[in-house]
Amino acid sequence: MPEPPPLAAAITQPADGHLKIALAGEIDILSAPQLRVTLDEALSHGARVVEVDFGGVEFCDCYGLGVLLGARRRATEQGTALRLVSVTSPLVRRLLYRTGTAAALLGPAK
């Protein structure tokens, strides 16, 4: 069985204090550390809002969820809003709703 491609991430910072991270691939025990580094880098920019675009994410496991929740906690501590946007994968949506973390991580961009 071929190994899935690594997680791809791109950070863009439009004007107005918003920062966007576009992700593609799968987030699991192997790629969660890469996600942590990406989120830490994004949070170091001092943006008011960090949007994590999950449109290209097909799968996320509990390791990835733990990284997201840790990043949200750090963001809140520094006064930054961190939100997942464009969560289209049914597997990822199910993870968020069944774990009760959807309300904390999903939300409209402001």
**pLDDT at residue 103, as a whole number:** 94
Helix pair angle (62-77, 32-43), 10° resolution: 10
Parts of the chain with a pLDDT under 50: 109-110
Domain assignment present for 18: yes
Identify the burial level of 108 via C-beta atoms within 10 angstroms of its C-beta, where 0-12 means exposed, 13-18 middle and 19 or more buried: exposed
Q: How many domains does the chain have?
A: 1
Q: Is 2 inside any structural domain?
A: no
Does residue 96 fall inside a structural domain? yes
* pTM score, whole prediction: 0.89
Indicate the SS3 state at residue 78.
Answer: coil
CATH number, residue 92: 3.30.750.24
Asked if the structure places residue 110 within a domain, the reply is no
* Within a domain: 100: yes
Average pLDDT of the residues of the chain: 90
How far apart are the C-alpha atoms of 22 and 24, rounded to whole Å? Answer: 7
Q: Which domain, by its residues, includes 78?
A: 8-105
Phi, psi of 52 (to 5 degrees): -105, 105
Domain contains 81: yes
